[in-house]
Amino acid sequence: MSSALESGATRTGARRTIYYTKQVEEGYARTHQYLGEWKDNKWDGKGTLEKTGGSRYVGEWKAGLRHGSGTLWQRHADGSMRKIYAGQWDNDQQHGRGTLNYKNKDVYVGEWHRGVRAGVGICTYADGGVYEGEWLNDKRHGFGVFDYRNGDHFEGHWIEDLKEGQGVHFYYHKEKKAHTKRYDGEWVDDVPKCGSYTEMPPDELAPASQVPDPIPAVGLVDASSVLANRLNEIRTERAHHRAKRISLEEQFTPEELEALQLAFERTSGTGSLSFAQLFEAFSQVGMSPSQPEVESALAHLGRSVDAGLSFADFAQLADILSPVDDY
């Protein structure tokens, strides 16, 4: 008999369940209801969960958690429903591809990782701006393109929601209805630090752009050399900052990481490298930096020549000491 009762109490298959919570003075109050499939006493399969707070989830479940494809809604005071998120879930978190509608009217369409924006996605902001590019830990991070409300356009690199590194800003002329100037340079903490300002060629589809706004000629002797030197200085100065905020997976291809890991393991017998061992490890990946160059790179990482160096230290050093591509 007990076995039969236990079997009857086990929730499996499709059924409707309403939950009540006991209040201290008011007795029992309804808190939420679930209509859908079960497995081993847990929501599993397709189902709908509604809570008294106004939220409604319609989609797939696994072992009691949102898992698979599903849509989350929120009810307004006037009874209307606002779609919050539609897309993929994993263990009750947004994971995969999905669309989130924020309360402030921002809209993000793209990839998610464990509940935060990560990968490639497009965010349309309430003020009219649009960002399309890479994300990490819920922030613009990597290469991305930003279209401003006023028509300006930026293409370049970002770190933790700020422009950092190489970028190009195109300036939009409202009356001429075209981008008439551009700035190519290096950004630091969202601010352009060094670069060149040039005129854009006329746009055949915008007749007014045929008459340019001349930019005064530069009176600097050997301007190109001065610019190149200053850009190199900025990149060197920011190497430590950028290395600490960019994951190894972003800095290297899987093949490059594998080669670095193999060189590190072959050279270090104790799980760390000494200063002298660094040069042997670098030689195994085709690098031959000088001692002053390595000492300078260590200083930028805030590491001492006497300290044991981890694989992450070795990889970051390799990134700093690699030739910088010309922009």
Q: Same domain for 162 and 79?
A: yes
Q: pLDDT 10s digit of each residue in the chain, 327 long? A: 334 444 445 667 777 666 655 565 666 777 889 999 999 999 999 999 999 889 999 999 999 999 999 999 999 888 899 999 999 999 999 999 999 999 999 999 999 999 999 999 999 999 999 999 999 889 999 899 999 999 999 999 999 999 999 999 999 999 989 999 999 999 999 999 999 889 888 888 888 777 777 777 767 777 788 888 888 888 888 877 776 676 666 667 778 888 998 999 899 877 789 999 999 999 999 999 999 999 988 887 778 888 888 888 888 888 888 754 433
Same domain, 54 and 203: yes
d(CA 146, CA 133): 9
Question: Sign (positive/negative) of CA torsion 154, 158, 162, 168?
Answer: negative
My answer on whether 200 and 260 are in the same domain is no
Q: What letter does residue 326 receive in the DSSP assignment?
A: P
Same domain for 266 and 180: no
Whether residue 95 contacts residue 114, with contact meaning beta carbons closer than 8 Å, is answered with: yes
Buried b or exposed e, range 6-40, using 16+ CB within 10 angstroms: eeeeebeeeeeeeeeeeeeeeeeeeebebebbbbe
Domain identity same for 273 and 133: no
Question: Is residue 134 one of the residues assigned to a domain?
Answer: yes
Name the residue with tokens 């300036």: 171
Q: What share of the chain is helix, strand, coil (3-state, %, to 5)?
A: 25, 45, 30
Q: Calculate the alpha carbon distances from 10 to 4, 5, 67 in Å.
A: 10, 9, 22
Domain count, the chain: 2
Cβ–Cβ under 8 Å, residues 126 and 105:
yes
Nearest Cα residue to 245 out of 161, 171, 305, 133: 161
* Contact in structure between 291 and 227 (CB atoms under 8 Å): no
Q: What is the pLDDT of residue 218?
A: 67
Is residue 236 assigned to a domain?
Answer: no
The structure's pTM equals 0.73
Is 266 in the same domain as 209? Answer: no
pLDDT at 237: 81
104 with 69, same domain: the answer is yes
Residue 30 lies in a domain: yes
Pick from 141, 133, 143: nearest CA to 110: 133
Domain membership flag for residue 239: no
Do 163 and 305 reside in the same domain of the chain? no
Residue 240 lies in a domain: no
Total Cβ atoms within 10 A of residue 270: 8
> Does any domain span residue 42?
yes
Q: Which domain holds residue 133?
A: 2-231
Q: What CATH number did the domain enclosing 262 receive?
A: 1.10.238.10
User: Which residue, 178, 198, 231, sits at the end of a domain?
Assistant: 231
The answer to whether the Cα torsion of 60, 62, 68, 72 is positive or negative is positive
Nearest to 160 by CA among 96, 244, 95, 100: 244
Tokens representing residue 89 in the block: 């879930």
Tokens found for residue 35: 């209509």
